[in-house]
Amino acid sequence: MYFPDLAPYQYDLPFSIPDVLSVGWLSTGHPFPKGRVREASRVQLEQLTAAAAVHSMRGTHPCPFCDCEAPGLMISDREFLLGSAELWVRDSVGRVFAAPNLVVHYVDAHDYQPPGLFLDALEWTSANIGRWDATTVYELFVARGFAAAAG
C-alpha cells in the first residue's frame, strides 16, 4: 500500500489521521528518495522496530521490490518478521510518524532515504523510550479518528 512520505496516516482505516504522518509506505510505480542512512539511525530504526511496534497483523506483507517474503530481523536473540506491524515514533515537538516495519528492509536492501523529520523522531524516541508508549498513542489516535468520523 502506497502513501507519500509525510502524508496524513490512513493505513487500514476509513479516514486519515492528520496528526500522524506516514513514512516508508512504498510501492512499485512510485519513486522514492534514495541515499545513505547514518549507522546510528539504522541501529535506532532496528531497535525501535521491536520496542515501538503497533498494529501487528496475523500475516506478513512481502517486499514489493524484491518479492522476498517477510524478511526477519534479529534483536537480542529474538526474531521480528518485517512486513507484519508498524513502527510509531515521535519527535521532540510532538509530531508522530507511522511506518510499516518493512521500512528496515527498505533502508537496508533498497537504499530508501526516510525524511529527516522521521530520522529525528527515531533519535528522540530512542532517547525517551521509557516515556514513549507507541501502543497507547496508536490506540488514542485511532479512537479519536473513529470518534471524529462518527460525529
- One DSSP character per residue, 11-49 reads TTSSS-EEEEEE-----TTS---B-PPPHHHHHHHHHHH
> Three-class SS of residue 146?
helix
Total domains present in the chain: 1
Mean pLDDT of the chain: 90
Beta strands in 84-137 (DSSP E): 86-90, 96-100
The residue ranking higher by pLDDT, 21 or 143, is: 21
Residue 1 lies in a domain: no
What mean pLDDT comes out for the span 67-79? 75
Residue with cell string 514489493: 64
Residue 150 lies in a domain: no
Residue 139 lies in a domain: yes
8-state DSSP, 57:
-
Residue 127: which domain range?
8-143
Residue 2 lies in a domain: no
Q: Give kind and range of the element (H or E) at residue 74.
A: strand 72-75
Give residue 69's pLDDT.
Answer: 67
Residue 76 lies in a domain: yes
The pTM score is 0.92
Residue 148 lies in a domain: no
